[in-house]
Amino acid sequence: MKSFFYLSVILLFSLICYGQEQPRSTQYIFNNYLINPAISGIDNYTDLKLGYRNQWKGLEGAPVTQYISVHAPIGQDFVRSSVNSFSGAGYNPLSRSYVNNYTSAEPHHGIGFYALTDKAARIRQTNINATYAYHLGLSYDVNLSVGISAGISSTSVDVANVTVEHTADPLLSADYNNKIRPDIGGGLWLYSPRFFAGASAKQVLGYRSKTANRQSNLPAYQTTVFYGTAGYKFFVDEDIAFIPSTLLTYWLSAPTTIDANLKIAYQDKFWIGGSLRNNDSFSALAGFNVASLINISYSYDVTTSALRSVNNGTHEIVLGILLNNRYDVKCSTRQF
């Protein structure tokens, strides 16, 4: 097993040379904020989420991802009334029955913050970002938001006890080992009570790495990653809604991935769903809401790639907490 571990480390070093991949999430529809800063402050409450993903369970050195995120609307339009042109008390303008009479949000600002860490074998990736977004109404029921993110990205590699044939290998002293670099991103989010569509980019700066002895350049280590996502809500009746969605992820230095997701929600109480990622996995998802304060979702991925014979699947759980929830919203209407 140790020989497989060391082989994995070497393979990971090779992958690093061709581009750093952002950690994936099966539950992107539950927290699109992580991939698009334009969602900052989209709802009329403070959205706090904690996430944990254990990928390829049973495989030594497999990726483990953890994150915390929080975002909220700000500005006088929200403080004095709400981001929906309604007073702060009384009827909830984001309730299910309001969909057919929806009006776009008042122009307002949103801010947020997230911290994410992903550890695979001896490699740890950490991202810390602050975000800002501006929301405005384009028509009676359609909104557009524009967002940016800025922070730091760090990748540390523990090479102290790695067994290699050539100890002078420049990869073991490359300047991306244990370095902190700036991280900038941006995005757009178009939304209404029945659909959403977004486009975003992360790691916009990108960079190349040089070995410590300066004798050679490594291929680009961190390259820009682009996201495109869309979803639509179909009401079967007053209580049941079908929400198909998709996420396309494109790296400049890695294969494109496509996630297809179907979520079936019953009122604002619980939901189930399924997801498929091309050439990688298929998943089962479920979630429920506890009053108007907490929501929990869980997913289990079954690997369809060659790794399926050496792992027991992927587990992911997300805990959401709705703070300052003046309208007692059970779950996000604008993120579905």
CA distances from 81 to 44, 74, 119, 288 (A): 10, 11, 43, 29
Measured distance CA(186)–CA(5) in Å, rounded? 37
Phi, psi of 28 (to 5 degrees): -60, -35
Helix (H) or strand (E) holding 319: strand 314-323
Please report which confidence band the pLDDT of residue 21 belongs to, taking 50, 70 and 90 as the band edges. Answer: low
Could you report the per-residue pLDDT of 314-333, keeping only the tens digit for each? 999 999 999 988 777 766 66
Residue 243: predicted pLDDT: 92
Across the range 288-310, mean pLDDT stands at 86
Cα dihedral 147, 151, 155, 156 sign? negative
Q: With 50 as the cut, is the pLDDT of residue 253 above it?
A: yes
Measured distance CA(109)–CA(134) in Å, rounded? 5
- Indicate the pTM of the whole model: 0.81
Q: Two tokens at 79?
A: 């403080």
Q: With 50 as the cut, is the pLDDT of residue 12 above it?
A: no
Residue 120: predicted pLDDT: 84
Could you report the per-residue pLDDT of 179-192, keeping only the tens digit for each? 788 999 999 999 98
CA angle 12, 15, 16 (to 5 degrees): 90
Q: Two tokens at 159?
A: 């090479």
Task: Please count the CA atoms within 13 angstroms of the CA of 11 that sit on its side-chain side.
Answer: 10
The residue assigned the tokens 């960079």 is 207
Phi/psi-derived region of residue 327, left when phi > 0, alpha when psi is between -120 and 50, beta in every other case: alpha
Residue 207: predicted pLDDT: 61
Q: Two tokens at 55?
A: 């990928």
Q: Two tokens at 67?
A: 């994150």
Q: Two tokens at 31?
A: 């927290």
Percent of the chain with pLDDT over 70: 71
Q: Can you list the domains of the chain with their CATH numbers?
A: 2-323 (2.40.160.40)
Measured distance CA(257)–CA(108) in Å, rounded? 33
Please report which confidence band the pLDDT of residue 276 belongs to, taking 50, 70 and 90 as the band edges. Answer: very high
Beta bridge partners of residue 302, listed in sequence order: 282
Measured distance CA(22)–CA(251) in Å, rounded? 9
Could you report the per-residue pLDDT of 122-144, keeping only the tens digit for each? 788 899 999 999 999 898 889 99
